[in-house]
Structure 1
Amino acid sequence: MKFKCRMSDGIAMRDFSNIVNTVVRASKLCVFRLTKQHVYFFVGDKRWPVIWAELTPDNFFDEYTMIGVSTQHDEIFLELEPSMLARSLSSLKMTAKPVKIKLTNKQQPCLTIELELSSLSTESRHCVHDVPVRVIPRKEWEMYQTPDIPQFDITIEMPELKHIRHQVDRMRNMSGQITIIADRTGQLILKIETDHATIATHFQGLLIKGSKPITDQKYSAKVEIKKFAMFLSGDTMHPDNVTCNIVHERMLNLCLMIEGHLTMQYFVPAMSS
């Protein structure tokens, strides 16, 4: 079993660090899954996924070597604290030099991050961070496979996340719940209800994906506003496309994409009305 990679592109370093910081907001633990073709971050459990992020190694790493637990099962599953990884990666903004990450064994398995920090002097500082990990045994892998994606009632392309975040930041001071509503005319509504008023923000003319005919039917999911707000921080990754998928009154699925680089999905269960 072996894993090592190298990053030298500044944008790739920034994006990888932003992905990890997004995972930090969702959970104290995550699963880091490595295959030949993809790298994954998973937050959740067998019952319900929370975040599923799929990265393409060629677009993040100059070098990428992965040898799995066996020829038949050529993968590695690691459990780690994303906050520790995020702290180790926080130094990336201070360096323009290559960063190496590899799986090591230092009394216990670790992800070892090696980087050089720029200095005002002619000498640079060599830094090594060890992030402890648990190697997940083969018998547990089934819990961390690609989530089953349900049949959505509607898929609508979202406006720029910074515009939504501005509205949601105001709403979350008034309510702990938000209802996301979409219809096939291309309308997306964010609505909160308080003891004194109902407040809604409407976005019009958005792209609807799928081939069902336009009707007046609205699809909605009421969710915890803090969970919805967590997703909106994804605007730091400058996504090419963001969609909102609704299973009426059951689930909100939010999908952020950087073409050819990253797909990140958030699963937010609906609250009972």
Structure 2
Amino acid sequence: MKFRAKTEEISNIEQLIRVCGSIGKMTQLCVLRISEQNMFFILNDKVVHGGVWCQMNPDNFFEEYRMEGLSEESNEIYLEVSPDEIVQALKTGTYAAKTLKVKLTKKSSPCLTFEIELPSQSGRIQTFIHDVPVNVLPKRLWSDYKEPLVPQFDISVAMPPLKSLKSVTERLKNLGSYMELSANHNGDMRMRVETEQATVSVNFKDLEIVHVDNGSSQSQPQNRMMGRFYGAKVDIKNLLMFLSGQLVNPSRIICNIMENRAIHCFLIQEDVSIQYCMPVINN
């Protein structure tokens, strides 16, 4: 298996730091899936932290990108890696890097090697090399890291801006550990925390309802059902982990809700998308 990528754009390095930093907020260890067309950061821990699926187009991050997978029939590479260690390696060249090269190497153990060239005051090029340890996953485990199937949700709504959501969630965290997140087909979304002393609810109005065509024959709700809220209870810490990522100005955040069964958030940006399936609290 071989993997090599190169960029000479500082903006690409900065965006890689933001993406890996966002994933690092949600997990200390994930799987990097490398294919010819895409790169993915994947977390499959639905019980504790939830499932994370981050998809990137390498053409938006690297001018050169080459890979050879396990075989012609299975032309992919799956690496278990720490996103925070990738961030630390990349930060060497955040502001002045001339070139970033990334490649899969095998030294005493498999590594992702980050080679960063920086100009010095004397005009010479300084090269910094960081080896990030990885665990190469065997093919028998690949099926655990396929894209999650999206079920038929009761409602899908475009959420308010990321900063507003994060601010509200941080304040609600001080009141309790769990939150009911719900929405209706009138474009209302509600974030509610209940304690023995009080119930606090924050409401957003006039949000866009997203109609997902997944082949279902389910009809649109009748007028008398438009005001019904569909929701589920989640751990506030899990929602805050998702909202605390470093992606700048996502174009949309879609929240898909299945009544008392699932909360599926979809953060969309021009060159990357992140799906997060939050564990639901049933009581």
Normalization by structure 2: what TM-score?
0.90
Specify the alignment match of 1:126 in structure 2: 127
Specify the alignment match of 1:179 in structure 2: 180
Specify the alignment match of 1:268 in structure 2: 278
| Alignment length (residue pairs) | 272
**1:232 counterpart (236, 239, 243):** 243
Tell me if the contact between 1:190 and 1:200 (Cα under 8 Å) persists in the aligned partners: yes
Q: Deviations over 1:99-122 (max 9, x none)?
A: 111001111110000112455554
**Which structure 2 residues correspond to residues 13-52 of structure 1 after superposition, within 5 A?**
13-45=13-45, 50-52=51-53
1:236, distance to aligned residue in structure 2 (A): 3.1
Specify the alignment match of 2:216 in structure 1: none
**Alignment partner of 2:140: what SS?**
helix
Q: Which moved more, 1:191-200 or 1:179-188?
A: 191-200
Letter in 1 for 2:220: K
Q: Deviations over 1:115-141 (max 9, x none)?
A: 124555544532100011111111111
1:272, distance to aligned residue in structure 2 (A): 1.4
Structure 2: distance between partners of 1:109 and 1:235 = 28
**Alignment partner of 2:142: what SS?**
helix
Specify the alignment match of 1:6 in structure 2: 6
1:92, distance to aligned residue in structure 2 (A): 3.4
Specify the alignment match of 1:192 in structure 2: 193
Question: Relative to 1, partners in 2 of residues 1:157 and 1:270: Cα closer, same or farther, differing over 3 Å?
Answer: same
Structure 2: distance between partners of 1:235 and 1:105 = 31
Structure 1 residue runs of 5 or longer lacking an equivalent are none
Q: Deviations over 1:222-267 (max 9, x none)?
A: 10001001111236332111111111111111101113x2111011
Structure 2: distance between partners of 1:159 and 1:231 = 14
Specify the alignment match of 1:241 in structure 2: 252
Structure 2: distance between partners of 1:3 and 1:174 = 48
Structure 2: distance between partners of 1:195 and 1:47 = 27
Specify the alignment match of 1:146 in structure 2: 147
**Alignment partner of 1:199: what SS?**
strand
Q: Which moved more, 1:233-242 or 1:166-175?
A: 233-242
**Alignment partner of 1:189: what SS?**
strand
Tell me if the contact between 1:46 and 1:144 (Cα under 8 Å) persists in the aligned partners: no
1:142, distance to aligned residue in structure 2 (A): 0.9
* Alignment pair present for 1:212 and 2:213: no
**Alignment partner of 2:247: what SS?**
helix
Structure 2 residue runs of 5 or longer lacking an equivalent are 212-218
**Alignment partner of 1:234: what SS?**
coil
1:83, distance to aligned residue in structure 2 (A): 2.1
**Which structure 2 residues correspond to residues 14-163 of structure 1 after superposition, within 5 A?**
14-45=14-45, 50-117=51-118, 119=120, 122-163=123-164
1:162, distance to aligned residue in structure 2 (A): 0.1
RMSD of aligned alpha carbons = 1.8
Normalization by structure 1: what TM-score?
0.93
1:55, distance to aligned residue in structure 2 (A): 0.6
Structure 1: distance between partners of 2:38 and 2:76 = 10
1:90, distance to aligned residue in structure 2 (A): 2.2
Question: Relative to 1, partners in 2 of residues 1:9 and 1:238: Cα closer, same or farther, differing over 3 Å?
Answer: farther
Identity %: 36
